[in-house]
Amino acid sequence: MATVQLKQVRKSYDGFEVIKGVDLTIRDQELTVFVGPSGCGKSTLLRLIAGLEEITSGDLLIDHQRANDVAPAKRGLAIVFQSYALYPHMNVADNMSFSLKLAGIPKPERDKKVMEAARILNLETFLDRKPKALSGGQRQRVAIGRAIVRDPKVFLFDEPLSNLDAALRVRMRLELTKLHRQLRATMIYVTHDQVEAMTMADRIVVLQAGIIEQVGSPMDLYRYPRNIFVAGFIGSPKMNFMEASIAQVLQGGSVVVALANGATLSVPAVDGMAGAGDKVTVGIRPEHISLASSDGISAQVQTVEHLGSESYLHLNIASGELLTVRINGETTVVPDQQVQLKMEPRSLHLFNKEGSTMRSLPTSTA
Amino acid sequence: MIISDQELSQNVVPATATRRKSWRDSVGVLSLKTPAISALFIWSIIPLLMTIWFSFRRYNLMAPDRTGFDGLGNYRYLLTDPSLALAIWNTVLLVGSVLAITIGLGTLLAVLFDQEFFGRGIARLLVLAPFFIMPTVSALVWKNMLMNPDNGFLAFTMRSVGLKPINWFGVAPLTAVIIIVAWQWLPFAVLTLLTAVQSLDGERKEAARMDGAGPIAMFRYIIWPHLGRAIAATTMIESIFFLAIFAEIYVTTSGGPGFASTNLSFLIYRYALMEYDVGGASVAGLVAIVLANILALFLMRSFARNLDA
Amino acid sequence: MISSKLRQKWAVTLLAWSVALLLAFPVFWIVLTGFKTETEAISRVPHFFFHPTLENYQAVGERANYFHFAWNSIVVSLGSTFLALLLAIPCSYAMAFFPTKRTKDTLLWMLSTKMMPSVGVLVPIYLIFRDTGLLDTKTGLLAIDAMLNLPIIIWMLYTFFKEVPREVLEAARMDGAGPLRELYDLLLPLSMPGIASTSLLAIILAWNEAFWSLTLTAAKAAPLTAFIASFSSPEGLFYAKLSAASTMAIAPILLLGWASQKQLVRGLTFGAVK
């Protein structure tokens, strides 16, 4: 049972604020992923929780106890660094048992814990090796093992997979998810990769410029992004955005918007938030646009990317805006071809001038 | 099990914002630094203050009872002493010439030793050797076994090609000292500049070669600009050491004949430990410090930049 | 094409080796002369081929009390290096890993103490030493050498410590290591190569230090630099014995110097050239 709670946490360096008042609760046994572009403050936030940086103002509560002034090692947390940060002069077993040794735990018990962690991570045969003699993936596992033996309340991961090659990254992603299920531990995971966030997280925290943009389950964020930033950040390929204005507000909450090329779309929106003539942005994901035989928005194909299982079309619509469409891999569409696009009204997102969504959000995504 | 945020925020000790670094941490860190810093502080400040104090006093070790405040007496005496001007001039000449020789030759040799050739490792060690020879040894060996006009090796070489041997320390004592010091310090310049040349990114050189740069263009446009920083650093470090050259003069010429090879260091030594004039030596010491500080001003600025890099 | 490249390589070899041999010649000459008789040594025509003798080494060892001075050199250079390391390691550690706003200024100030010419403070140091009985003692010279090298050592260690990945130390902190643990269990083992080369440089500089050795020591505490200088008096001038004594004085340091040549640049340029 471990929760982490941040209340109005701020961090500034020499008067420059990088974390601008974060309120967040990390729930027990969940894998929470902090995601955002580089410089958004996600790593700093993790280091504040770890105690490697000092909180400028606000409160950090670990299991309801204020932990601002608790020494890093006493917080009951373990961190896995991006560079692994293994102790190069110690072998794998010593790397893992260092914290236990410092805590004065007797050798037999230390060995037992190390063996157990090694078993979980398939490291039994490497215990005598120095980090130098390990592959990237093995080093990564040692770093995780070092965290496991401490039996921490919360595991912290700081971009742990970004030094691995693509194939290994996918495998470690699965292993970490499995590990999380196996240990039933609270984990905080920092990454800049939205795919990692989507695939691993129980809950995602999207950060930008030191502010939390949205918190929610992966599918909630995918379906109900609260603003343009989250909409554009989550999902790959990126959501398409088109400038538009509201042409008509209909009964029952729907609106009709006019795109820059004159086409009109009807979008379900929230009552009372829109008035005719308002400038808005319409968003739609590439996978929610399909090709129609006729009667759609006409567009010209610029490039076609074949990925085998699927294809991406990059299209120009009459307004000059560029759209990406995801279709099946067997498409015969070629560059310069004229096509007609169909967009499902239910899949359309509508954002106001400030970039906030105009659709009603399910209450679970605060 | 999932609990709501409201539940979580209960039974929490209310806490105020904290900025203060923990007291124990700062004291701990401070206690690590203090011994070294205070030792250096004492070493650099107390003698300096004493030098300033003595410079205003009449104080000769031979007549310890005749001390007292002398105002600017020492300054008046020393600053009108023609040997001071000569010593400063000799110092400038010494520092300047050795700098020019070591940096100039050093750059050329650095580029030479950057090339691939047979036995490069060993040749490099040989070039380096003079730097590790203690100054008194180099000076004595050069004076007696190499530059001696009668049985020195240089004299032999000159005779064998039909030239008249030079009486180095009789005719050109300062030049002789310059040669010795340059020989000692050339390896340092070579090594530093060689390190810099080698730190040059290989791909940049290859790119230049693909762009059609020959050896001269390569040196002029790629290597030389890259060396700037190393040359600056070498110049500064060498200047510090050259300002304080002492042993080479002490062992070879004792500053003579007359004052012909007396630099500031040796002049102060003369005042202090040969004439026992503490006051005079202190004033000369202050002159040396001022001179060094003028140099240091440039030095520090450049090193401060390096710290940022 | 290949042959012209090879020809160029041979040309460079020839040129570079000529320069190297020319520069190293005096050192070679010292070593050679040490094995000659005094008569051969002062001959107007240099002897390259001769019957080597060890008599100079015996003479230097027995009559000139060489080992007394060598011992002084060893004590002073090792002792001063040890003392300076003792002061420098905690200081560099603190500055590298717990930097404050003033750390940079502190480092620059330390560097600036190195720029004060020794002669500028000769008089007060001499008087202090005279009045505290430190004149002509190994302790006194040892302390001076430690102070002379302290800024260089702190700077070198600082740059070496800076290269230890910050995250490794943070991992240790998360594992419960206090500052002293961090220093002894991690930082020192990890930067051992750097500390070793720093020590080597300090030993070399102390071994060869001449100004304070010549001004502050006499018969009792004089190290080899001062001992060699005593050969400059006309009555002490025996080339072969001078050469034998010199060879013994420079050999250990030459070997150490060659071993530490890479770090030497870094140390003496205060990290500006690496």
Asked, as a colleague might, if the bond just before A237 is cis with ω within 30 of 0, I would say yes
> How far, in Å, CA of A7 to CA of C38, rounded?
88
Q: What is the mean pLDDT of residues A114-126?
A: 91
* Element holding A31 (H helix, E strand): strand A31-35
Which one-letter amino acid corresponds to residue A343? M
Interface touch A66/B15, C-beta < 8 Å: yes
Instruction: State the CB neighbour count (10 A cutoff) for residue B1.
Output: 6
Do residues A144 and A179 make contact, with C-beta atoms less than 8 angstroms apart? yes
Give the predicted TM-score (pTM) of the model: 0.78
- What pLDDT, on a 0 to 100 scale, did the predictor assign at position B17? 34
Q: What is the mean pLDDT of residues B3-28?
A: 43
Is A6 a residue whose pLDDT tops 90? yes
Pick B195's closest partner by Cβ from C46, C243, C265. C265
Helix (H, G, I), strand (E, B) or coil at A314: strand
For residue C96, the number of C-alpha atoms closer than 13 Å in the C-beta half-sphere is: 25
Measuring CA to CA, which residue among A141, A146, A43, A143 is closest to residue A100?
A: A146
Residue with the larger pLDDT of the pair B72 and B252? B252
Nearest residue on chain A to C188, alpha-carbon basis: A89
Give the rounded distance of the alpha carbon of A22 from its chain centre.
17
- Of the residues A19, A64, A184, the best mutation for testing chain B's interface (the one with the most B CB atoms within 10 Å of its CB) is A64
Q: What is the mean pLDDT of residues B122-150?
A: 86
Give A18's contacts (C-beta < 8 A, 6+ positions apart): A11, A12, A41, A44, A210
* Element holding A78 (H helix, E strand): strand A77-80
> How far, in Å, CA of C157 to CA of C96, rounded?
9
Length of chain C: 274
Interface touch A27/B17, C-beta < 8 Å: no
Q: What are phi and psi of A301, to 5 degrees?
A: -75, 130
Conformational region of residue B271, where left means phi above 0, alpha means psi within -120 to 50, and beta covers everything else: alpha
Interface touch C246/B141, C-beta < 8 Å: yes
User: Residue written as tokens 């230049």?
Assistant: B208
Measuring CA to CA, which residue among A314, A249, A236 is closest to residue A280?
A: A249
- What pLDDT, on a 0 to 100 scale, did the predictor assign at position C245? 84
Measuring CA to CA, which residue among A253, A301, A287, A283 is closest to residue A348?
A: A283
Measuring CA to CA, which residue among B204, B142, B96, B50 is closest to residue C239?
A: B142
**Which of B60-69, B79-88, B132-141 has the lowest average pLDDT?**
B60-69
Q: Is B129 on the interface with A (CB under 8 A)?
A: no
**Which of A333-347, B143-157, B177-191, C126-140 has the lowest average pLDDT?**
B143-157
Strands (E) located in A85-197: 154-158, 186-191
> How far, in Å, CA of C203 to CA of C188, rounded?
19
Is C15 a residue whose pLDDT tops 60? yes
For residue B291, CA distances in Å to A36, B84, B294, B297, C91 come to 56, 13, 5, 10, 30
**Which of A53-62, A285-294, B287-296 has the lowest average pLDDT?**
B287-296
* Element holding A20 (H helix, E strand): strand A16-26
Is B11 a residue whose pLDDT tops 50? no
Interface touch C176/A78, C-beta < 8 Å: no
Q: Is B22 on the interface with A (CB under 8 A)?
A: yes
Is A32 a residue whose pLDDT tops 90? yes
Residue B196 tokens, joined: 């810099």
For the stretch C17-76, pLDDT in tens is 999 998 988 998 888 888 887 777 777 777 777 777 787 788 777 766 888 888 999 999
Nearest residue on chain C to B116, alpha-carbon basis: C9
Nearest residue on chain C to A99, alpha-carbon basis: C175
Question: How does residue A361 score in pLDDT terms, banded at 50, 70 and 90?
Answer: low
Torsion of CA B196, C201, B243, B78, to 10 degrees: 160
Nearest residue on chain C to B183, alpha-carbon basis: C23
Q: Which chain C residues contact residue A85 at CB under 8 A?
A: 165, 167-168, 170-171
Q: Is B142 on the interface with C (CB under 8 A)?
A: yes
Interface touch B19/A64, C-beta < 8 Å: no
CA torsion sign for A292, A294, A298, A303 is positive
Is A215 a residue whose pLDDT tops 90? yes
Q: Which chain C residues contact residue B141 at CB under 8 A?
A: 26, 29-30, 242-243, 246
The CATH superfamily of A4-233 is P-loop containing nucleotide triphosphate hydrolases (3.40.50.300)
> How far, in Å, CA of A305 to CA of A125, rounded?
45
Nearest residue on chain B to A13, alpha-carbon basis: B19
For the stretch B259-272, pLDDT in tens is 888 888 888 888 77
For the stretch C132-170, pLDDT in tens is 988 888 889 999 999 989 998 998 899 888 888 888 888
CB-neighbour burial class of residue A354 (10 A; exposed 0-12, middle 13-18, buried 19+): exposed
For chain C, domain boundaries = 2-57, 67-234+248-268
Report the gap between the CA of A176 and the closest CA in chain B (Å).
Answer: 22
Neighbouring-strand partners of residue A207: A212
Task: Kindly state the DSSP code that residue A188 receives in the 8-state scheme.
Answer: E
Task: Kindly state the DSSP code that residue C184 receives in the 8-state scheme.
Answer: I
Nearest residue on chain C to A49, alpha-carbon basis: C174
Measuring CA to CA, which residue among C81, C59, C231 is closest to residue C141?
A: C81
ipTM tops 0.90 = no
Which one-letter amino acid corresponds to residue B142? W
Neighbouring-strand partners of residue A350: A282
Q: Is A54 on the interface with C (CB under 8 A)?
A: no
Q: Is B301 on the interface with A (CB under 8 A)?
A: no
User: Residue written as tokens 């989250």?
Assistant: A230
> How far, in Å, CA of B257 to CA of A2, rounded?
86
Is A22 a residue whose pLDDT tops 70? yes
- The percent of residues in chain B predicted with pLDDT above 70, rounded, is 87
* Element holding A12 (H helix, E strand): strand A4-13
Instruction: State the CB neighbour count (10 A cutoff) for residue B235.
Output: 17
Q: Is B121 on the interface with C (CB under 8 A)?
A: no
Which CATH number among 1.10.287.110, 3.20.20.70, 1.10.3720.10, 3.20.20.140 corresponds to the domain C67-234+248-268? 1.10.3720.10
Interface touch B22/A69, C-beta < 8 Å: yes
The contact set of C with A (CB < 8 A) is 165, 167-168, 170-177, 181, 185-186, 189-190
For chain A, domain boundaries = 4-233, 240-351
Instruction: Determine the straight-line distance between the first and last CA of chain C, rounded to whole angstroms.
Output: 36
Q: What angle do CA B193, B197, B202 make, to 5 degrees?
A: 170
Pick A72's closest partner by Cβ from C173, C185, C190. C173
Greatest Cα-to-Cα distance within chain B, rounded to the nearest angstrom: 104
Q: Which chain B residues contact residue A66 at CB under 8 A?
A: 12-13, 15
Interface touch C174/A52, C-beta < 8 Å: yes
CB-neighbour burial class of residue C93 (10 A; exposed 0-12, middle 13-18, buried 19+): buried
Measuring CA to CA, which residue among A85, A215, B259 is closest to residue C190?
A: A85
- Of the residues C122, C130, C159, C211, the best mutation for testing chain B's interface (the one with the most B CB atoms within 10 Å of its CB) is C122
Q: Where is mean pLDDT largest: B189-198, B228-237, B266-275? A: B189-198
Q: Is A81 on the interface with C (CB under 8 A)?
A: yes
> How far, in Å, CA of C187 to CA of A3, rounded?
34
Interface touch A59/B15, C-beta < 8 Å: yes
Pick A102's closest partner by Cβ from C168, C181, C190. C181
> How far, in Å, CA of C65 to CA of B304, rounded?
48
Measuring CA to CA, which residue among A150, A139, A130, A135 is closest to residue A90?
A: A130
Task: Indicate the fold that domain A240-351 takes in CATH.
Answer: OB fold (Dihydrolipoamide Acetyltransferase, E2P) (2.40.50)
Q: Is C272 on the interface with B (CB under 8 A)?
A: yes
Do residues C77 and C145 make contact, with C-beta atoms less than 8 angstroms apart? yes
Which domains, and CATH codes, for chain B? 75-308 (1.10.3720.10)
> How far, in Å, CA of A10 to CA of B302, rounded?
37
Cβ contacts from A onto B, under 8 A: 36
Interface touch B243/C117, C-beta < 8 Å: yes
For residue A299, CA distances in Å to A236, A264, B192, C118 come to 21, 15, 64, 82
- What pLDDT, on a 0 to 100 scale, did the predictor assign at position B303? 63
Name all chains with 3 or more CB-CB pairs below 8 Å to chain B. Answer: A, C
Nearest residue on chain C to B301, alpha-carbon basis: C108
> How far, in Å, CA of A336 to CA of A318, rounded?
13
For the stretch A238-256, pLDDT in tens is 999 999 888 888 877 788 8
Q: Which chain A residues contact residue B5 at CB under 8 A?
A: 25
